[in-house]
Amino acid sequence: MNRKGEKLQQRTIKRPVEVVGIGLHKGEPIRLRLEPLDADAGIVFYREDLAMSIPLSPSSVIDTRMATVIGDKEKGFISTIEHFLSAVYAYGIDNMRVIVDGNEMPIMDGSSISFCLLLDEAGVEELDAPKKILRVTKVIEVKDGDKFVRLSPTDKASFDFRIKFDHPVIGEQSEHFEFSTHNFIEEIARARTFGFAKDIQYLQSQNLALGASLQNAIGLDSHKVLNPEGLRFDNEFARHKILDAMGDMMVSGYNILGKYESFAGSHNLNYQLTSKLLSDSKNYELVAVQALQSRAFAKSFA
C-alpha cells in the first residue's frame, strides 16, 4: 500500500472466453471472443470477418443515434458496444481484445449481466503496470435544451441520472449510483434496455431491430409493460440509463474519477461529453490510482 492511496495495477483477463448471442439489428448470431492483452494496449475491438482492428476512443465513434457505434461506415463498424463496455468499466479492465464476426455486439438479455458473467468466467489478471484513470479537474457540461450531461471533480465516482417520459409506466424516474464493481452487479448490471412497440414495428420495417424481442428488452405499448415477468427494478429505466452512461464513458478508454450527472442524456450527449473532456488537458489528469489521495476509489474495484 502506498501512503497516499491504494495501489492498483492495470487489468486484463486471465484466459480467452467466448459466447454466441443474437445481434439486435440484424437478428443473426454473433460470436464474441475476449482475449487478454498486455499493459498499455487498451481495449481493442476486432472485426474477425474483415480482419479489421478498431481502437476504443471517441475518435472511433461514427454514430450515436440508437447506440454507440465505432469504426468506419465504408470499411466496417461495430454497433451497440455500450452494454458490454459498462461491464468492462465496472470490472476495471484496461487491456483486452474484443473479437466479433459481425457488425454489432450480441444483445444478450438487453442488460450487462451476461457480460459480467463472461468476465467472471475469464477471470481478472493484474499486470505489472500501474492502473491509470482520468481524474476530472473542472466541470464539463454538454446541453441540448433542458437535456444535459455533466462531469464534476470529486474524490468518489458516482452516477446520477434522471429521466422523464410521457408514459404511465415510466413517468419521472431517477437513480443515484455510488460506483463499485459490487454495487454495479447488484444495482445496475441487470437493468435492461427498453423500447416502445410502435417504434419497434417501424424499425423492423426498415430492416432494423430484427433481433428485438421480449427476451432482450423491456417492451412497452402505450399503457403497460409487455414482458410477462414485469420489471426487475421499480426504476429499471433510469438504472439502464446509468448502465448506458458507464459504457459511453468507457469509450474514453479509462475509468473516470468524477461525478456524472444527467437529465435525459443520450448516447450522443455522452459522446460529446467524453470528446469535450479529452479536448483540453486542463479538464482532466491522467493519473496512476496509487497517486490519488482517496483510497475509496481503488477499493471500489475489489
Identify which has the larger pLDDT, 97 or 204: 97
Assess if residue 36 is contained within a domain: yes
CATH number, domain of 114, equals 3.30.1700.10
Range of the domain at 171: 9-299
Assess if residue 265 is contained within a domain: yes
- Model-level pTM? 0.96
Identify which has the larger pLDDT, 192 or 65: 192
Among residues 38, 175, 185, the alpha carbon closest in space to that of 120 is found at 185
pLDDT band at 251 (very low <50, low <70, confident <90, very high): very high
Assess if residue 22 is contained within a domain: yes
Assess if residue 288 is contained within a domain: yes
- Give tens-digit pLDDT for 178-212: 999 999 999 999 999 999 988 888 888 887 788 99
Residue indicated by cell numbers 454495479: 184
pLDDT at res. 6: 65
pLDDT band at 1 (very low <50, low <70, confident <90, very high): very low
| Average confidence score pLDDT of the chain | 95
Q: Which position among 25, 83, 240, 267 bears the catalytic label?
A: 267
Nearest-5° Cα angle at 22, 16 to 24 = 120
Separation between Cα atoms, residue 73 and residue 33, nearest integer Å: 23
Q: How many CA atoms lie within 13 A of 200 on its CB side?
A: 20
- Give tens-digit pLDDT for 253-295: 999 999 999 999 999 999 999 999 999 999 999 999 988 877 7
Residue indicated by cell numbers 481478472: 124
Assess if residue 61 is contained within a domain: yes
Is 267 one of the catalytic residues? yes
Assess if residue 3 is contained within a domain: no
Classified as helix, coil or strand, 45 is: strand
Assess if residue 2 is contained within a domain: no
Number of compact structural domains in the chain? 1
Classified as helix, coil or strand, 135 is: strand
Separation between Cα atoms, residue 153 and residue 171, nearest integer Å: 30
pLDDT band at 297 (very low <50, low <70, confident <90, very high): confident
Assess if residue 45 is contained within a domain: yes
